[in-house]
Structure 1
Amino acid sequence: MTARPEENTAVTETARPPLQRVAVLIPTYNERDTLPVVVREVRAAVPSVDIVVLDDSSPDGTGDVADGIAAQDPQVHVIHRTAKEGLGAAYLDGFRWALEAGYDAVVEMDADGSHRPEHLPALLKAAEHADAVIGSRWVRGGSVVNWPLHRKALSVGGNLYVKVLLGMPVNDATAGYRVYRADALRTMGLDDVASQGYCFQTDLTWRAVKAGLTVVEVPITFVEREVGQSKMSRDIMTESLRRITGWGVRHRAEQVRGLVGQREPRWHSL
């Protein structure tokens, strides 16, 4: 396992195969005003990437807006989902689509402008030497903009809880701006992922670390959305706390059993 919180993009790991085809996955629900801006800025920041909009049947017509963009740009694709099933389900659909289409890597990016497209080149650069790259708010050089103090404390405290409970050397396991190599997704296994909401991000981080993959954190500036409403809810927070606590309890129990097994006397017959 090589989970490495980095403060810059200089990674010394052995280079992986080049990322020739990259799909930027953008889940949407009622983002008709912000989506065109995000797509335009992504295409300007890294013109070579393809963009895949994952729309959960937005009642505000986001899907139609996405179709209009795709009709003008062959590097934009739209997946219309039939119901609002959460962030995790949308990304899993996007992962499967991208793997079947032969992409070398996928990017997770919010549609609300919180994830700045100008950071994307640095994330992709780090992915040349890593299996998974996290755009981190909580490493040196990372920051958040327009967050009240209680929101920042909640995020920092939640990530510290994850780090201590799971013994996982990642500072921002809940971050949603990421790059995964296709081979990493296959290694991690996606068939039994059941997490929704923002717990999904911690789930995938935990899977990557347990699989022994190289995980790198690159500092980003996270900007709180100025248009529309946040999708964060009490149910999402409750699910995250419940699942992460369960993983941590099982992880620590396995560690204890391992220590007990090492200390048990071994008897040899004469």
Structure 2
Amino acid sequence: MVIPTYNEAVNLAWIVGRLRAAQPDLDVLVVDDGSPDGTGAVADELAAADPAVSVLHRTRKEGLGAAYLHGFRVALAAGYDVVGEMDADGSHQPEQLGRLLAALRDADLVIGSRWVPGGSVVNWPVRRELLSRGGNLYVRMLLGISVRDATAGYRLFRRTTLEKIDLDSVHSTGYVFQTDMVARTLAAGLTVREVPIEFVERVRGDSKMSGAVASESLRRITAWGMRERRDQLRRAWRR
């Protein structure tokens, strides 16, 4: 499981401990983007105490997508057949990971979804829920996909999925990375499944999500989606 971190010193040991207890056979890769609050040192302590935990230190904050791409490459080079994503702030419940693992039996990418039947969010203001639901509706309409929670960050990829996507061709570095990976998986003719999860808003530390970040992601998705639609029309015209 790849866990990107930036200033998560108060949460990291707590969430890694829960994850290791919930799935004792799972290995954890913490990817820290040079956190000034000492998150990297916390990660090193966890790795020293547990051989299933390893740490990748990056020198600066370059975005969520860049951290995941780096972590994916390391995991693939190490020979893992399944690679996951998970937030470090406790919003993704490690105890629900079994749902994603079960769904991976007949899927290439599994998403822990807030917006399918049975999914939920805890401690979100109405404005943020409307923003997320509306953003995902916009993504479905723009990209022509049926995934209900394309922006979610609780995921499991098969190795073959990441290889078929070709990570070197992925240039999304921010939060739009999540939508980009869903669209690429579907474009490759692979199967995406969503399973319901309970998403719990962090109770410790500062959220990295803001209205400005969400707006920027939507602008990037719009530009990217319009390019994709233009390319689709060109390909259809050439036939």
Q: Distance in 2 between matches of 1:27 and 1:258?
A: 37
Instruction: Report SS of the residue matched to 1:187.
Output: helix
Q: 2:31 aligns with which of 51, 54, 66?
A: 54
Aligned CA distance change for structure 1 residues 70 and 260 (closer, same or farther; 3 Å):
closer
State, as a whole percentage, how many aligned pairs show the same letter. Answer: 62
Other-structure match for 1:187:
164
Unaligned runs of 5+ in 2: none
Structure 1 distance, partners of 2:228, 2:180, is 13
* Structure 1 position 232, deviation (Å): 1.4
> Helix, strand or coil: the match of 1:77?
strand
Partner deviation per Cα, 1:10-56 (whole Å, 9 max, x = no partner): xxxxxxxxxxxxxx111111111111111111011110000011111
SS of the residue aligned with 1:216? strand
Q: Does residue 221 in structure 1 map to residue 198 in structure 2? A: yes
Structure 1 counterpart of 2:77, one-letter code: E
CA contact (8 A) 1:199 1:236 kept: no
| AA at the equivalent of 1:199 | V
Offset, 1:169: 1.1
Say yes or no: does 1:174 pair with 2:151: yes
Which runs of structure 2 are paired with 1:84-103 in the superposition (5 Å)?
A: 84-103=61-80
Q: CA deviation at 1:127?
A: 0.9
Segments of 5+ residues of structure 1 without an aligned counterpart are: 1-23, 263-270
Cα deviation for residue 237 of structure 1 reads 2.4
In the other structure, the counterpart of 2:94 is 117
1:79 aligns to what?
56
1:40 to 8, 13, 17: 17
Deviation per residue, 1:180-236 (Å, 9 max, x gap): 011100101111222122101001011001011110000000000010101114553
Match of 2:177 among 188, 192, 200: 200
* 229-238 or 29-38, larger mean C-alpha shift: 229-238
Alpha-carbon distance in 2 for matches of 1:256, 1:86:
32
Once the two structures are superposed, residues 81-112 of structure 1 have per-residue CA deviations (whole angstroms, 9 ceiling, x without a partner) of 11111111110110000000000111100000
- TM-score by length of structure 1 reads 0.85
Match of 2:140 in 1: 163
Q: Which runs of 4+ in 1 moved over 4 A?
A: 254-262
In the other structure, the counterpart of 1:28 is 5
Taking a change above 3 Å as real, the CA distance of residues 242 and 232 of structure 1, as seen in their structure-2 partners, is same
Aligned length: 239
When the two structures are superposed, what TM-score results if normalisation uses the length of structure 2? 0.95
Q: Which residue of 1 aligns with 2:228?
A: 251
What is the root-mean-square deviation in Å for CA atoms of aligned residues?
A: 1.5
Q: Residues 53, 149 of structure 1: CA spacing in aligned structure 2 closer, same or farther, 3 A cutoff? A: same
Determine which structure has the larger helix proportion and give its number.
Answer: 2
